[in-house]
Structure 1
């Protein structure tokens, strides 16, 4: 019998009761309350924000929009490899500010320079704005570090959770045909990779586990506003060649996106690229933003990220 971790049972019980009350009172989702929800969740349950030696804000110039970035350098005196961290939030929520403690932990856990882009969000900036910004960040990563006088190795990997995992998939898919860039590795945490929402886990885990199928559909309707074919823009249904980066996918047992993460891992392997998949038993979507409730599980993911990126 499948059981949610006891660490999360009380939280989910309270959350589901609150959601039921809000819906009964006529609650309507919009971009503001969705963004507040993720920000408040993270602020409440990721309370440890460790010091990083150097943090620098800058912009990466791109056509039509200069992408704001925050750079986290845990050892400025050393030449470190680089990670781009694409934050989650369903293409509508999340920010560099919300994910600041998580980016600090990634930098310290992996001893990489972390570049976190403030990519544009729907509904104000629907698809493909976020993908354009994500790719511009990849292309401009070394230049922005050089402009800030930082030492670095010319090695760049990408990491993302949820909607940020979708950006990883999109960026890796584009980069496999671009000789001007090379992604060393990609690490995805419960990634959103299938905009058709056609999976067993979407039905199995679509109600009662924080991220609801109805909310996912609402996110996608706000993101894909111009009649895009949902299948053709899904990273899961893109091209898979041997030029993809080595990949590590973390999924969660009670996450609606679980099966698409596993399917992506299988397609990467079938293309002849080394890939690893770990499914977190008892966990729900967004558990990395709930660290104080599931410290051991989050530490496990950071440890896997470290060993994978540095192997």
Structure 2
């Protein structure tokens, strides 16, 4: 069923849809830079995050390339949990800077040391290079926290592609005795690269995130110079990489799943929550029926839902 959007988003969507229609009429295709600029332009609709006592930038230690991590510590005089924050953006957009307000809110509401990583992006860096960056942070984050007090409690959080990263890390580390993820927080997560759920079509146009662009995102993420355009090969890669289609187990961490009713990715987020429940994992699922994908990046327009989201996260991590 197609979602029914909040009236407070209708003027914004009217502008977006007009711009999309004009671009199509002029034959303007997608490019990485234009797509990144478009997402970064949403920063004008984002409220500043709260002041945090300590904010610093570091780099992954002893790694194959320079990958920056920003550390937010709301209470340097206390030992706090650690939260690894993976930003969204279709695996080819987004940054520490764009997500700075969200990282700050996470630090404040969770009373945790938040570490947000500028993982490498497609198409310059193909799957799984960005995911590998996040795996390395997962295994080595403690080395970056010299001078910080922290407990042995670890959370991971991500929206959209960041949710894909979280769920991929969970699936890939089920048997890794060196990694313990205590809770994961997913906001409109991307967990099915096959784009096979009804909401992909039902909400695939008119709600900011268009399925034509999602398909293009995934082509940039998974393609390579030797791509032979074989649809069966592409489907096999998408299936193998999709967190929803990977192994599930009862030792997966308690999970908060937040979905949006007007999001093309709505159904796969719901399916992920359901599958976790079927495997005996503790799940809290909340849907904002009238919200769109990426509503967290336009929080000036949806301030109430934005704060409700962080209230849900605060309640989930405090239990």
TM range (shorter): over 0.9
What is residue 254 of structure 2 aligned with on the other side?
A: 246
The CA distance in 1 between the partners of 2:118 and 2:270, in whole Å, is: 28
What is residue 153 of structure 2 aligned with on the other side?
A: 155
CA pair 207-217 structure 1, distance change in 2 beyond 3 A: same
CA pair 225-2 structure 1, distance change in 2 beyond 3 A: closer
Q: 1:287 pairs with 267, 292, 295, which one?
A: 295
The CA distance in 2 between the partners of 1:278 and 1:196, in whole Å, is: 24
TM-score with structure 1 setting the length: 0.96
What is residue 88 of structure 1 aligned with on the other side?
A: 88
The CA distance in 2 between the partners of 1:255 and 1:3, in whole Å, is: 10
Segment of structure 1 superposing worse, 72-81 or 227-236: 227-236
How many residues are matched? 308
Does the 8 Å contact 1:164/1:191 carry over to 2?
A: yes
What is residue 194 of structure 1 aligned with on the other side?
A: 192
What is residue 45 of structure 1 aligned with on the other side?
A: 45
Cα drift, residue 49 of structure 1: 2.8
SS state at 2:22 partner: helix
Does the 8 Å contact 1:106/1:114 carry over to 2?
A: yes
Cα drift, residue 48 of structure 1: 2.2
SS state at 2:40 partner: helix
The CA distance in 2 between the partners of 1:136 and 1:66, in whole Å, is: 12
Segment of structure 1 superposing worse, 295-304 or 220-229: 220-229
SS state at 2:240 partner: coil
**Structure 1: segments with no counterpart, 5+ residues:** none
Cα drift, residue 66 of structure 1: 4.1
The reply to whether residue 273 of structure 1 matches residue 274 of structure 2 is no
CA pair 195-262 structure 1, distance change in 2 beyond 3 A: same
Does the 8 Å contact 1:175/1:183 carry over to 2?
A: no
TM-score with structure 2 setting the length: 0.94
Segment of structure 1 superposing worse, 131-140 or 57-66: 57-66
Does the 8 Å contact 1:193/1:235 carry over to 2?
A: yes
**Structure 2: segments with no counterpart, 5+ residues:** 225-233
Deviations along 1:11-40, one digit per CA (max 9) or x if unpaired, are: 111110121112222322111111111111
Structure 2 counterparts to residues 159-170 of structure 1, below 5 A:
159-170=157-168
The CA distance in 2 between the partners of 1:2 and 1:194, in whole Å, is: 20
The reply to whether residue 36 of structure 1 matches residue 34 of structure 2 is no
What is residue 74 of structure 1 aligned with on the other side?
A: 74
Does the 8 Å contact 2:253/2:281 carry over to 1?
A: yes
Does the 8 Å contact 1:85/1:116 carry over to 2?
A: yes
Q: 2:310 pairs with 282, 302, 305, which one?
A: 302
Does the 8 Å contact 1:188/1:250 carry over to 2?
A: yes
Structure 2 counterparts to residues 187-226 of structure 1, below 5 A:
187-226=185-224
Instruction: Give the CA RMSD over aligned residues.
Output: 1.3
Cα drift, residue 181 of structure 1: 0.7
What is residue 230 of structure 2 aligned with on the other side?
A: none
Deviations along 1:277-302, one digit per CA (max 9) or x if unpaired, are: 11111000000001000001010110
SS state at 2:241 partner: coil
The CA distance in 1 between the partners of 2:204 and 2:173, in whole Å, is: 32
Cα drift, residue 71 of structure 1: 0.2
Does the 8 Å contact 1:190/1:252 carry over to 2?
A: yes
Does the 8 Å contact 1:163/1:192 carry over to 2?
A: yes
Does the 8 Å contact 1:142/1:154 carry over to 2?
A: no
The CA distance in 2 between the partners of 1:193 and 1:279, in whole Å, is: 16
